[in-house]
Every structure is written in C-alpha cells, then in structure tokens.
Structure 1
Amino acid sequence: MRGPAWPIGALLVGYPLWWALGFGGLSVIVLAVPMAVVLWRRRPVRVPRGLGLWALLLAGYLVSALMLGESPPGTYGDLGPGRMIGYVMRLALYVAVLVMVLYLGNLTERELPQLRLVRMLGVLFVTTVAGGLLGVFFPGFAFTSPVELLLPDWLAGNSFVQNLIHPTAAQTQKVLGFSLPRPEAPFEWANAWGSNVSVLVVWFVVGWWVYGGRRQKVFVAVSLALAAIPVVYSLNRGLWIGLGLAVLYLIVRVGGRTRVVLCGAVAVGALAFALSPLASLVTQRLDKPHSNDIRAFTVTATLAAATHSPVIGYGNTRNALGNHRTITTGRTQWCEGCGHPPLGSDGQLWLLIITQGFTGAALYVAFFLGAIRRHWRDRSPVGLAGVLVMGLVLLYMFVYDGLVTPLSLYLISFALLWRNSPRSDTCLRSDP
C-alpha cells in the first residue's frame, strides 16, 4: 500500500513477515513510529469521543510504576529485570495503540477506504486460519527468529519475551488428561489465537461476504469450513462461547431475509459439525474443565492482593505463593504442578486490577461500554460488527489477557466504528 496508509497495511497484511522476524505482536509498537509522524504532519489531530478514558488509563499506568518494588501479602519476588521488561512492554503497547487509533481516524476515506481496512483484517483472518492449521497438523514447528538471535541471552531467555519473539505453531498443554497441542501461530499464545480469530472472523465476513461477489462468498464458505478445524482443536471454551454469542447477537439485531438466511446457515453448519469427528473432541473438552480450579485460585489471589493497593495497583503482575493444589512455591521433580501462576494471567480484567487497581479496570470497562452506547444505533454492517467486537472485548476480559495482539485488534475495531460515524470528535491543536 502506498501513501500515508502504508503502516496499517504493513501491520495487517504483512503480519506473517513480522511474526517470522520475531516481532509479532510488537510490530504495532514499531509501526506506531511512522504513524505518529503522519499525525504530526497533519495537525490539528481529530480525537474521538471516549479516547480520554484511554488517556487516563495510560496516565494511571505511569503512576502505577511507583509500586513496582512492592509485593502485596500472598506474593513474592523482588524488583528485577523481568518485572521491568513486562512493565515497559505494556506501557509501549498502550501508547502504540493510542497512536494507532488517532492515525486511523485521521486518514481520509480516499487515503484509506473503510472497506479496504476491513478487508485487510480479513486477510489477517486467513493468515490466522493458516497458522491454526499449521498448529494442528505440524504442532512441533518452531524456529529461532532473527530478533531472538540478536537479543542478549538474559533478555531473550525471559519467559514473557520468549513467547513474543520465538515463533511456534502450537502450545502444548495437558487439557484432556494428556498433553495436546493447541494452535497459536502466528500469535504469542493459544488464548491469543482464540481471541484474535473470533474478532477477525467478524471483519472477514463483513469485508468478503457482505461486500463480496459470488467468488468471494465461495472463498468465505471454504475458509470458514477450514477454520472449524483449528477452532475445535484449540480446545478453547472462551472462543466457543464467544462465537456462539456472536451468532445470537446477529440473529437478534439483523432482520428480514438476512435473519432467515443466517438461521439457515447456522442450522446447516451445526448439523455438519455434529456429524463430523470434531464433535466428540468438543464433548471431551466440556467434560474436563481442568483449568477451572487454576482460574479460581489466581482470580481469588489477584483480588486479595489488589485490596492492598486498590487505586493504582502494582504496575505489573506478581507471583502467588503456591497454587490451587499446594502451598509449595515452585515446580519440583516430585511436584510438576506446583508452579506459581502469575496473578492477572487469566483475563485482562484481572491483569488491570493487579497492575492498575480497580481504577484502571473501571476505565477499561468504561471505554468499551462507551463505544457500544455511542454506536448502538449504527445498523450498517460495519456498525453492527464493531459493536459486536466491543461486546466480545467485555466478555473476553474475564478469561483472556488482552496483551499483546488482541489489544491491537480491539482498538482497530474501535477506530472502524469511529470512522463509520458522523464526525462527533474534537481537535487537538498545535502550532503548524
């Protein structure tokens, strides 16, 4: 893509290259620099309603750095490189997505047509499905990225950094009583793959089915059938619930012939799935909710820790003493399940509560609720899809960490809603 819109094209269409290089979810931070240059050159900058809440969230995160050296009761660990790396990366991401929203909203329709942006998200959906299939059929696929080779060992070996810079096809976890690979390519975690595919499929259908011709519709149907394979093998209950609620939302909000066609498509798809071998895997997963106890422990410990710094939080996650099975603090040869789960690792809401207190969590919820309220009456395909994504964000905050790539997709969806509405924004003025 030429012209000032090239950074967003490089981010969405060129994402497989970023992943292979080892940037992956960090690519938005890199590309926020040319986006900021574009904004600087076209002052004054338009600002959407509600973005002040995100600015307050960012300001609160800066203040929370005052607590990085503290550890609440029930946790342990000292202020070290790992804690600082996590804080700086999250701060950079929050700033980058803020820049990205302003950048997208200040590009004209001629510079970046709305449909082109939606279709670029659809291209990333196809990339995500391809990565999911890679994780299902070649789960051991992995390689050392150029970024990983260039970083010093003390940084590249950090577990948080390693997930971001080391490309892998799948994440192996013990889910059904034995180890199974869960697709994650081209993203950083299996849960990030689940969150992203559910958001991207919304824009894929809008861009390539609603606004597509006959050939595009055939392509969509084939792609969705292929996507069902990694969606099921992801064993991701949050993803399944999100997709089910998305279908229910559309049935309720669309009307006339579209509702009839949608109900028919859902019925045919459900029948085909029930007759396929994939149905038994879903049944097994629902019968073995192995992660419930882990989540209950970490959420309870997160809330207990947050009460000791309820306004500004602790800047980053903390390690809990013990886990849901034992008070032992660490994995040993005789207790492989005795690791200490990081607090806030089971959902963006809990992450915000431990890092920024209940204030940060409230600002995050208010930001996305406000977007739903302002755009609820927009019944265009983009309006319906954008509000749906905002709703998925509020659902997923209980079970998915929004970092790293999911947050970028959430904010791109917010920008699509802003671009789709009559201008109700303000300007930040500065000297030319």
Structure 2
Amino acid sequence: MRLHPAAWPIAALLIGYPLWWALGFGGLSVIVVAGPMAVVLWRRRPIKVPPGFGLWLLLLAGQALGALMLAENPPGTYGDLTQGRVLGHLMRLALCAALLIVVLYLGNLTQRELPQLTLVRMLGALFVVTVAGGVLGLLAPGFQFTSPVELALPDWVGGNSFVSNLIHPTAAQTQKVLGHAAPRPEAPFEWANAWGSNLSVLAVWFVVGWWVYGGARHRLAVAGVLAVAAVPVVYSLNRGLWIGIALAALYLAMRLSARARIAVCVATAAGALLFLQSPLQAVVVQRLDNPHSNDVRAFTVSATIAAAAHSPIIGYGNTRNALGNHRSITTGKTQWCDECGHPPLGSDGHLWHLALAQGFVGAALYIAFFGGAVLRWWRDRSPVGLAGVLIMLLVLFYMLIYDGYFTPLAFYMISFALLWRGSLAKGSP
C-alpha cells in the first residue's frame, strides 16, 4: 500500500498505534499527530468544515470555561484544587482540540490522497491488534512494563493515577467481578472499558474493509479473526460491549437489504448456537448473575446529576470525589469492606462526566453533535454510511456507561470524519 505524503500522519496514528502504546503515548498519540495534521491543513487553506462544526467549537469553549470552576466543590463532594485535577482538565481539553484538527484534516484530504477504503482498512488492521491485545490480556494478565514516557516524566505527573493509566502499558485489569479476581483485557488501550468500546467500533470497520470490500480469502480471514475475538469479548466480562454487539446486530437486521438481512440473521443464529454449545456460555451466565457494579453506578449517576445541577451552564471542569458511597456516608477501605471508598463522580459514563465537568449545556452539545450526525447521514446506504451511522448510535449508547475520552473518542471522531468524507465525495456538504 503506497501512501500519499499528506496521508502519513493518519497512517502513523493508526498503523503505528502499537508503537505509540509501547512508548507510553497510547491515548495521547492523537495529540502528538495533530501537529503535523495542522501543518497539512495550514498549507491548503481555505479549509472545509463539517456539519456540526459549530457545536464542537461550543463544546470546546465550554470545556475551557470549566477551568473557572476547578477550585469549587458542589455540595456532596470534597477535595482541594490539586495538580492532578488541573492536569486532567488540560489533557481532556487538548484531546478535544486535537480531535477537531483530525476531523478537519481527514475531510480536507482528497480521495486520491487518502481513499476511503484505505482509511477503513487502517482501522480494520487496528481491530486485529485489539484482538491480539485481548488474547494477551487473558494469557498473560500480569504483563506490563515501564514506558519511555513514564521514565521521562517527573513523579508528580507520572505518579498521578489518571496519567499512569494512560502512559503505563498493561495487558489487563484484574478485578473482583465474579467473586474472585478475574483479568479483563485492556491492551493496547488505557483501561478495560476502553478496550470494549474500541473493539466494537473497530470491528465495524474491519468487516466493512475486509469482508464487504474483500475477496473470498479476505472473508475467510475475517471469519477466523472474529471467531478468535469472541473469546476475549466474553472473558472481558463487559456487559456494555455485549449489549453494543446486540444493538449492532439489530441495527443491521433493520437497515440492510432483504438478502443481506437474511445473511446477517443466519450468521447471528449460527453464532448464537455455537456460543450456547461452548464453555463461553457459562461465563456470560455467571457474569449476569453478579451485577456487582449496578449499585455503584446508580449511586454515582444520581449524585453526579445532583452535583451538576449546582453549575448547569459551565459545570465544574473535572470529576469530584463523592462524600460517602452507595453503602454508607462514611467511606474508606477496611478489612471488612475492600470495595469501600470515595467513588469519583462523573466517571461512570461520558454523558455524566460532561454534565459535571461542562454542565448540562455541554452534555446537550455532545448529544446534538453525534445525534445530528445520525439524522444527517441516515439516508446514506453505502457500506461506509451504514457503518458510520451505526457507530454514531453506539456513541449515544456508550456515553451512558463508558468514559469516552482518549482512544474511544478518537475512533468516534474518525468515524464521523468517514461519514463526512463520504458526503463530500457525493457532492453534498
């Protein structure tokens, strides 16, 4: 595959992502490559902008204004203005600004410089890497190492738990989900839920690039990779991912042509039958019987909404620690309660983070941006159009349960850019 020079920044991001992860940049890599992308944009002014551009600018402006409230704590929360709180705010702001540059960059490259299929297949190649990372997380859950970025940063930065998740490569998170310690894959991303969200989004582009636009050998390889992916998908114990896959199957059954719909239904039925006959079925049943996080999520979401109501326009700039938890108004780990602690409000879903950090206005702008994309491109029945709209719908679902920052938001915005590029190729805005 020969690339036009202007396409190298996006290739460096997607094809080179395993190297970024090993170096310790991982979710921060998009901020790094935004620099060369901005140079490409500067050289080809005037710059085309996508529909919804103004909404994202308002979201960025609101995010910046949230810095004014970083020293404040809404009722029911506590904590001082620390370097970590400021650093987290600045990193998220830099990410959202960088992603705007990425979208503009992709939309202003011509189809000759970067064909749609090339970009789709780059995303598909990263899906294969994600599956490999999932397998690594199951086979060697303790695998981790100190990255060069981690070594270079001062202790007050690298020692921050939020930053550490981003720069310290690990294969899996080990959590007590089924009553005992269980590994949940996360390589090559920043945490287990990011792995689940990213896998589902990248799987869509993998199927489009290598099944829809592939030959017989490509399709055989796709079937094999998807079969392997089923194992870490189940053992990830990620109910959000499982629901996302079910919603994707339902969407395809509704929107594809009659012939393709039959094929999807047959494939889904065959996959379900194989699953029910495999040992994986017992893992899912056991996970559904142990909904350990439901009470925690219910508490944090309700407490987040209550806290956000005290600054509904610009929010508080970042998450806050709650006073108490779902069990007690007193918190802290003890010998009899190793799960007790101060749950961070705004960490159980991107929508709730936005409500607290940027107010209800910021949350509404986010919904309007991705919801507008669904409405705008719903009639695009090309493979890229159908896939892109599906991902926009998954964004609106995942915002309820997943933190979308860093790699998940990067893949959401690249998917948005693919939809926009498709409309530009057809001559519509």
For the aligned pair, the TM-score class normalised by the smaller chain equals over 0.9
The match for 1:77 among 76, 79, 84 is 79
Deviation of 1:263 (Å)? 1.2
Alpha-carbon offset, residue 325 of structure 1: 1.4
Deviations 1:315-343 (A, max 9, x none): 00000012111222333455422211111
Choose from 323, 328, 338 the match for 1:326: 328
Matching residue of 2:270: 268
Question: Given the alignment of the two structures, is residue 66 of structure 1 paired with residue 59 of structure 2, yes or no?
Answer: no
> 1:7–1:34: 8 Å Cα contact kept in structure 2?
yes
CA distance in 2, matches of 1:190, 1:61: 26
Deviation digits for residues 262-319 of structure 1 (CA, Å, limit 9, x no counterpart): 1111111111111110000000111111100000010011011011101110000000
2:197 to 195, 198, 207: 195
Aligned-pair CA distance for 1:2:
4.5
Counting only pairs closer than 5 Å after superposition, residues 7-18 of structure 1 correspond to structure 2 as 7-18=9-20
Distance in 2 between the 1:382 and 1:391 partners? 14
Q: Is the 8 A contact 1:49 1:424 kept in 2?
A: no
Q: Does 1:350 align with 2:313?
A: no
Shift of 1:377: 0.4
Q: Secondary structure at the match of 1:319?
A: strand
Matches for 1:160-199 after TM superposition, within 5 Å: 160-199=162-201
The one-letter code matched in structure 2 to 1:177 is G
Match of 2:156 in 1: 154
The answer to whether the 8 A contact 1:328-1:338 is kept is no
What is the 5 A alignment of 1:356-371? 356-371=358-373
Distance in 1, matches of 2:173 and 2:330, equals 25
1:62 aligns to what SS in structure 2? helix
**Mapped pair 1:232 → 2:272:** no
Contact 1:24 1:187 in 2 (8 A): yes
Counterpart residue number, 1:40: 42
Residue identity matched to 1:33: G
Instruction: Give the corresponding residue for 1:390.
Output: 392
Counterpart position of 1:339:
341
8 Å CA contact retained: 1:168, 1:184: yes
The CA RMSD over aligned residues, in Å, is 0.9
Say whether the 8 Å CA contact 2:4–2:113 is kept in structure 1: no
Q: Contact 1:209–1:217 (CA<8 Å) still a contact in 2? A: yes
Instruction: Report the Cα distance in structure 2 between the residues aligned to 1:396 and 1:271, rounded to whole angstroms.
Output: 27
Question: Aligned partners of 2:109, 2:195: CA distance in 1, in Å?
Answer: 29
2-structure distance, mates of 1:229, 1:92:
35
Deviation at 1:410, TM superposition (A): 0.2
Residue identity in the other structure for 1:142: Q
Question: What's the secondary structure of 2:183's corresponding residue?
Answer: strand
Q: Which residue of 2 aligns with 1:430?
A: none
The partner residue of 1:406 within 383, 405, 408 is 408
Measure, in 2, the Cα distance between the counterparts of 1:373 and 1:172.
40
Deviations 1:379-414 (A, max 9, x none): 000000000000000000000000110000000000
Kept in 2, the 8 Å contact 1:322–1:338? The answer is: no
How far apart are residue 352 of structure 1 and its match? 0.1
Tell me the distance in 2 between the aligned counterparts of 1:314 and 1:361: 13
The alpha-carbon deviation at position 59 of structure 1 amounts to 0.6
The alpha-carbon deviation at position 75 of structure 1 amounts to: 0.4
Query: After superposition, what is the alpha-carbon deviation per residue over 1:348-404, rounded to whole angstroms, capped at 9, x for unaligned?
Result: 000000000000000000001100111000000000000000000000000000011
Structure-2 separation of matches of 1:95 and 1:175 = 36
Q: TM-score, normalised on structure 2?
A: 0.98
Give, as a single letter, the amino acid of the residue that structure 2 aligns with 1:307.
A
Q: Aligned residue for 1:257?
A: 259
Q: Are the counterparts in 1 of residues 4 and 114 from structure 2 also a CA contact under 8 Å?
A: no
Segments of structure 2 that go 5 or more residues without pairing to the other structure are: none
Which sits farther off after the overlay, 326-335 or 245-254?
A: 326-335
Aligned to 1:136: 138
Quote how far apart the aligned CAs of 1:261 are: 1.4
Amino acid at match of 1:107: L
Shift of 1:97: 0.4
Residue 30 in 1 paired to residue 25 in 2?
no
* Other-structure match for 1:246: 248
Q: Aligned partners of 1:63, 1:183: CA distance in 2, in Å?
A: 36
Deviates more, 1:120-129 or 1:47-56: 47-56
Q: 1:221 is aligned with what amino acid?
A: A
Structure 2 residue corresponding to 1:310, chosen from 279, 304, 312: 312
**Aligned length, in residue pairs:** 425
Q: Secondary structure in 1 aligned to 2:291?
A: coil
Contact 1:251 1:263 in 2 (8 A): yes
After TM superposition, the runs of 4+ consecutive aligned structure 1 residues lying more than 3 A away are 332-335, 422-425
Cα offset for 1:257?
Answer: 1.7
SS at match of 2:105: helix
Percent identity, please: 73
The residue matched to 2:175 in structure 1 has which SS? strand
**1:46 partner SS:** coil
Any conservation in 2 of the 1:23–1:165 contact (CA below 8 Å)? yes
For residue 180 of structure 1, give the secondary structure of its aligned residue in structure 2.
strand
Q: Unmatched 5+ residue regions in structure 1?
A: 426-432
- The 8 Å contact of residues 167 and 186 in structure 1, kept in 2 or not, is answered as yes
In structure 2, the residue corresponding to 1:45 is in which secondary structure? coil
